[in-house]
């Protein structure tokens, strides 16, 4: 499957809700990810990320449809040469290499457009598919913290993967 990263638009509202409103996605995201994912919350998200220049969040597009989201969060202060990577993909596209390609694309974009030396991601221990996608994209496991996360009342390990310029 050939995907591309592109800016979000209000035309993506329904597909954002269609794919984002899924408890299987929510269980692997921080609590800031909305669930249920309503049209109102989707509108707020699209407005917020569309005003960022240069862009830091993108729709993952397959054949003109937004099927997921990927973005980086530039860190500040003493961590300012780092960016955190966040992403999700609609369930029908799991296991097809889509997210690995999106990760590789945003890494290239980020190193070209921002003064950063390291991009890191923090997948939950309960999401081995995300670990695999990061490894396929060239990320290295830097650390594992036992029992540091709480999601839906479950204590999880936190993994930190990174790639450097």
Number of domains in the chain: 1
Residue 64 sits in a domain whose CATH number is 3.40.630.30
Residue 75 CB-density burial (10 A; 0-12 exposed, 13-18 middle, 19+ buried): middle
Does residue 165 lie within any of the structural domains?
no
Span 93-107, pLDDT tens digits: 999 999 999 999 999
Does residue 151 lie within any of the structural domains?
no
Does residue 129 lie within any of the structural domains?
no
Check whether 1 has a pLDDT greater than 90.
no
Span 40-64, pLDDT tens digits: 999 999 999 998 889 999 999 999 9
Q: What percent of the chain has pLDDT over 70?
A: 100
Q: Residue 77: which domain range?
A: 4-121
Q: 19 — phi, psi (to 5°)?
A: -90, -30
Does residue 132 lie within any of the structural domains?
no
């Amino acid at each position: 499957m050939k995907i591309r990263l592109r800016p979000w638009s209000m035309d993506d509202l329904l597909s954002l809700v269609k794919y984002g409103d899924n408890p299987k996605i929510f269980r692997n995201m921080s609590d800031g990810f909305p669930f249920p994912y309503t049209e109102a919350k989707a509108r707020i998200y699209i407005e917020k990320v569309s005003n960022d220049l240069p862009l830091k969040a993108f729709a993952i597009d397959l054949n003109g449809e937004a099927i997921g989201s990927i973005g980086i969060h530039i860190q500040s202060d003493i961590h300012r040469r780092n960016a955190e990577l966040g992403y999700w993909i609609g369930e029908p596209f799991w296991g097809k290499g889509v997210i690995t390609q999106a990760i590789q694309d945003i890494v290239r974009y980020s190193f070209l457009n921002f003064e950063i030396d390291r991009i890191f991601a923090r997948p939950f221990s309960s999401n081995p598919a995300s670990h695999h996608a990061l490894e396929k994209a060239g990320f290295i496991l830097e650390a594992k913290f036992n029992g540091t996360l709480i999601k839906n009342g479950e204590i999880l390990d936190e993994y930190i993967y990174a790639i450097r310029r």
